[in-house]
């Protein structure tokens, strides 16, 4: 194994051992992190938080024109 491979292996072992010997609270918070990220990115982001301008307009010119209309309209 060359030196870069050894370094990568050491980094992998470092994280692997760290996760393997993790305390109960560490495992618990990792579960919470994963559930949270799943809810945030795969449920909330996709189903509840579409980017309004990206969804409704196909390019930046149309987005800019829309906002210009909003800024100059009767509001």
Partner 1 sequence: MIENFDLSLVNWSRAQFALTAIYHWLFVPLTLGLSFILAFMETLYVRTGDEMWKKITKFWMTLFGINFAIGVATGIILEFEFGTNWSNYSWFVGDIFGAPLAVEGILAFFLESTFVAVMFFGWNKVSKKFHLASTWLVAIGANLSALWILVANAWMENPVGMVFNPDTARNEMNSFREVVFNPVAIDKFLHTVTSGFVLASVFVVGISAWFLIRKREQELARKSILIAGIFGLVSGLAVALTGDSSARTLAQVQPVKFAAMEALYEGKTDAGLTVIGALTDSGERIGEKKVHDMKLKIEIPKLLSIMTTGKGEGYVPGLRDLIDGNPERGILSVSEMMERGRYARQVLIDYKMAKELGDTESMASLAAKFEEKDFTENYFRYFGYSYFDHPWQVIPSVPVTFYAFRVMVGLGFFFILLFVLAIWFHRRKTLERNPWFLWIALFSIPLAYLASELGWIVTEMGRQPWIIQNLMPVHVAVSNISAGAVQTTFWLFAVLFTALLIAEISIMVRQIKTGPKH
For partner 1, the closer CB: 58 or 70: 70
Helix H, strand E, coil C: the string for 13-60 is HHHHHHHHCCCHHHHHHHHHHHHHHHHHHHHHHHHHCCCHHHHHCCCH
35 is written with which tokens? 């559930």
Binders in 4-33 for partner 1, by CB under 8 A: 14-15, 17-19, 23, 25-26, 28-30, 32-33
Residues making contact with partner 1 (CB under 8 A): 14-15, 17-19, 23, 25-26, 28-30, 32-33, 36-37, 39-40, 44-45, 48-54, 60, 63-65, 67-72, 74-75
């Amino acid at each position: 194994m060359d030196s870069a491979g050894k370094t990568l292996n050491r980094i992998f072992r470092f994280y692997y051992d760290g996760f393997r010997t993790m305390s109960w609270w560490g495992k618990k918070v990792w579960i919470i992190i994963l559930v949270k990220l799943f809810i945030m990115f795969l449920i909330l982001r996709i189903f509840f938080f579409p980017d309004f301008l990206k969804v409704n307009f196909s390019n930046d010119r149309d987005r800019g024109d829309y906002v210009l209309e909003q800024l100059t309209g009767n509001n």
